[in-house]
Structure 1
Amino acid sequence: MILNAIAEKLKRKSKDDFKGRQFEAWLIIQAVSWYLRYPLSYRDLEEMFLERGFEVDHSTINRWVLTYAPLIEKRLRRFRKPHCGSIRVDETYIKVRGKWKYLYRAIDKHGNPVDFLLTANRDLDAAKRFFNKMLKDEPLLSPGKIGTDGANTFPSTIKQSVDKGHLRPDPVHYVTKHLQQRIESDHFRVKKNMLRIGGFRSFHTARRTIAGFEAMLWLKKGFDFAETWTVREQNDLIALLFGLQKVNEA
């Protein structure tokens, strides 16, 4: 089976992922996936594992998240479902060290996440970097319709993407508050887990943690592997990403 072949390849590739770790790999990935999926603090997870007989300090769980959340995002990226050809792009605000930073995000018209980028500024350069990240690997699947807010950075950004070949010629660019409401509502799915944080302590921490939040949204949406997509099946895929048979099993 294809998944078995993928599992064997990832098992060989990830043999050093947990080298030197005090705890078993399945427990580490379980902690990280819980943190990214549910509104739990590091201290909440510390208590939950203590109830199960595992003494894990909350600072250790924090280090696990910062290490493995970006790896989950990177390895899930290959499974993402292609967008439908019509996307919405928007920015939202994230507090880092008491200052507001900007999270560029895109979803398609069905609500499937497309991509994201955390930036220090909301300007032309940031918009161009986001479009480049979003489109550079999939020029053949470039959207024909792009919805944005009224920011004046997007028209020139779209033109540059066409010139680079990341977008097909003459994409439809529309500015409409009504159609943007869906992505504005979608921002909450990422930010709801940040309420317990209040704000990130560094840009590095924010970037790596948000990568995990976004990856979990990809995972929840599914990858067309089956008609039903349970949390257990989602955990099984995360396990495969790290060459494990199961998460939550010793």
Structure 2
Amino acid sequence: MLSAIAAKLKRRSQDDFKGRHFEAALIVQAVSQYLRYPLSYRDIEELFLERGLEVDHSTINRWVLTYAPPIERRLRTFRKPHCGSVRIDETYIKIRGQWRYLYRAIDKHGNPVNFLLIARRDLEAAKRFFRKMVEDQPLSALDRIGTDGASTYPPAIVTARNDGLLARTPLHYVTKHLQQGIESDHFRVKKNMPRIGGFRCFHPARRIIQGFEALLCLREGFGFAGAWTVREQNHLLAVYFGLPAVNEV
């Protein structure tokens, strides 16, 4: 069984990196470095030059845009289901000189639940986020929902209940001190984002944020066994892309 799974992952890896001029392991390493640390594309270009590899920063940008979403989708299956008590908040992201909104949710233990980058902060945006959050984990019932005082959340919860997305109406509470956890968690995602001018386009920003969220969850061990070392993170990425293990002693 394990050999069959390994063979399937290896075949999928060949499809994932078909036509690339660099080895798959180097591409995954470059993408994970950008998503894990506050580095620019030019910083990673210099790191590769130190190893005698010439990779243009624009090429690294294309790698991130291409492989960040698959990394998030594949790592999502490892996530621990939320405990039923979640905190929801939105934060500001600058894209092309304009403020956009990143809706995020974590459970009471700090484990990521879901996220959504959207152009507006209104009732429709809140409804869309609730639908995405519930549909991605249909078997995990929401018992308690903590939010700030935004007026869009109560009707969004009611709409989700009426649409059959919630098995029962959860307890909704508004408390400032309990929201401090998710407000602090915003920083862990935003610290790697471009500091000057923000993102240039909306859809590339959404793809990159997928990668930021995925690597943050990977770093925390998916909520199961505490934080993982960088070596453990790289090993899982290599396994899931069907690549040989790297940095073995």
Instruction: Return the TM-score normalized by structure 2.
Output: 0.93
Matched, 1:206 2:205: yes
Q: 1:248 to 1:96 in 2, by over 3 A?
A: farther
Specify every segment of 5 or more residues in structure 2 that has no aligned partner in the other structure, as ranges. Answer: none
C-alpha change, 1:247 and 1:198, in structure 2 (3 Å) is farther
SS of residue in 2 equivalent to 1:200: coil
Aligned to 2:222: 223
Q: Which position in structure 2 is the counterpart of 1:21?
A: 20
Q: Equivalent residue for 1:134?
A: 133
Paired residues for 1:188-207 under 5 Å: 188-196=187-195, 198-207=197-206
Q: Residue in 2 aligned with 1:63?
A: 62
Task: Quote the Cα distance in structure 2 between the aligned partners of 1:144 and 1:40.
Answer: 39
Alignment of 1:121-160 (within 5 A): 121-160=120-159
| Cα deviations by residue, 1:47-76 (Å, 9 ceiling, x for unpaired) | 100000100001100000000011100111
| Structure 1: unaligned runs, 5 residues or longer | none
Report the equivalent of 1:85: 84
> Matches of 1:119 and 1:224 in 2, distance apart?
26
Aligned length: 248
1:39 corresponds to which letter in structure 2?
P
Closer, same or farther in 2 for the Cα pair 1:248/1:124, shift >3 Å? Answer: farther
CA shift digits 1:82-119 (9 cap, x unpaired): 11111000000000000000000000111111110000
Q: Note closer, same or farther for the CA distance 1:129–1:7 as it changes in structure 2 (3 Å cut).
A: farther
Q: Percent identity?
A: 73
Cα distance in 2 between the residues matched to 1:232 and 1:74: 21
Q: Which runs of 4+ in 1 moved over 4 A?
A: 224-228
Cα deviation for residue 150 of structure 1 reads 1.0
Q: Is the 8 A contact 2:218 2:228 kept in 1?
A: no
Larger RCO (alpha carbons 8 Å, 6+ apart): 1
SS at match of 1:101: strand
SS in 2 for 1:187: helix
Are the counterparts in 1 of residues 97 and 197 from structure 2 also a CA contact under 8 Å?
no
Contact 1:131 1:161 survives alignment (8 Å) = yes
Aligned to 2:45: 46
Output the CA distance in 1 between the equivalents of 2:188 and 2:135: 26
Asked if the contact 2:80/2:224 (under 8 Å) is kept, the reply is no
Aligned partner of 1:132: which letter? Answer: R
Mapped partners of 2:8, 2:226: distance in 1: 26
